[in-house]
Amino acid sequence: MLLLYCFSLTFVQVSYSQEQQIQESIPKAQNQDVSSELNKIKEQLQEVRRDQLNYKIEKDLLKETYSSNIQTVNIIIAIVLAFFAILGYLGLKSVWEMKREYQKELNDLRDLKEKFNHKFLEIESQQKSAEKKFKEIAEINEKQDQRLSLLEIQEKISTLIRNGNFPRAYSQVLQGLEQYPDDSLLRSQHYYSLLKLKRFWEAFDFAKKYFEEDENNIYMLADFIEIAILLENAIDYEGLMSKYRTQLAEYYSEDLIFYFDTLRLYFEGDIIKLVDQIKSYVESQNMNESSLRINGWMYDEAREFLKGKKDDELKTIMYKFFEYLDGDINGQELLNIMNNTS
């Protein structure tokens, strides 16, 4: 439209310029034909001007219409852009809110996971602790059951021994040792059953075997020394006394060592040394007191073994000495008997 307006303006100027040129070029002395021509030209010029004015008016109307349309389009575009801006803002805001909510939920899930892991570890620890306690209780129960079973076996054997049923007691001992081979009381009952069955050499081998396996077993050492003396077996008595005298005295008393020494003198057959040793021991004690001299020790095996020996003054003195050690007679009574015997 701008080109069209420029073209029209140029055309009017050219026309106006031509008109001036024509008027100047016509002489005043021309005839009326020329004037008539001029009038026609003026009319034509006026028509051109009128057309030009109409064009200008139409152009202004078109311009106004265009401007109005442009403004409307701009308004619509602005509205659309504003609408999309609002939608974008709302969308971004919604996205941000969704992101924040998602992040919050994610953090909550992480916290929940941490709590769950902590709770799981706590439960796992409690479970392990419960399993450990259950295992300990089961082990304790098992040990208690074994202990009760062992006590039942020991009590049954002790009852059989008290009742004099030594073959049955020996059989029960063997069964018990199969289950509890390291039990010291069962070993002692085994040894005692062999003595009561007069299987002395088996008792000696048994005592020797278990003493060699456990030299700290002072009870078995004492049994081993006694049966070795009764069997007149060549053992290193002095060496054993030198090594274990303190333990024997602490476990029993010095009286047990004196008993072993006296028993050895009996088998040596020296009645003078035997009487002198017993007298020195008795006179060092309360002469009028009758009491058990060696706690936890019995002389049944020695008495039983001496039954096979010949009857003489030595044997009589030893039997009375056993009675003194058991508390059946006092020291004065023992000395009187030995004075009358010797």
- In the chain, the amino acid numbered 229 is I
For residue 10, is pLDDT > 60?
Answer: no
Confidence of residue 12 (pLDDT cuts 50, 70, 90): very low
Dist. CA 190–CA 158, nearest whole Å: 11
Sorted by sequence, the CB contacts under 8 Å of residue 15 that are 6+ apart come out as 45, 48
The winner for highest mean pLDDT among 47-61, 116-130, 161-175 is: 161-175
Per-residue pLDDT at 11 = 44
Question: What is the pLDDT averaged over residues 291-319?
Answer: 86
Per-residue pLDDT at 27 = 52
**HSE, side-chain direction, 13 A CA sphere, residue 201:** 0
Confidence of residue 320 (pLDDT cuts 50, 70, 90): very high
Kindly list the distances between the CA atom of residue 57 and the CA atoms of 54, 296, 299, in Å, as whole numbers in the listed order.
Answer: 5, 149, 158
Per-residue pLDDT at 230 = 86
For residue 25, is pLDDT > 80?
Answer: no
DSSP at 203: H
Confidence of residue 171 (pLDDT cuts 50, 70, 90): very high
Dist. CA 278–CA 318, nearest whole Å: 10
Average pLDDT, the chain: 80
Confidence of residue 91 (pLDDT cuts 50, 70, 90): low
For residue 312, is pLDDT > 80?
Answer: yes
Dist. CA 236–CA 327, nearest whole Å: 31
For residue 168, is pLDDT > 90?
Answer: yes
Min mean pLDDT across 66-75, 185-194, 303-312 is at 66-75
Question: What is the pLDDT averaged over residues 15-31?
Answer: 51
Per-residue pLDDT at 93 = 61
Dist. CA 307–CA 170, nearest whole Å: 23
Sorted by sequence, the CB contacts under 8 Å of residue 177 that are 6+ apart come out as 183, 186, 187, 190
Q: Where are the domains of the chain?
A: 106-197, 198-341
For residue 276, is pLDDT > 50?
Answer: yes
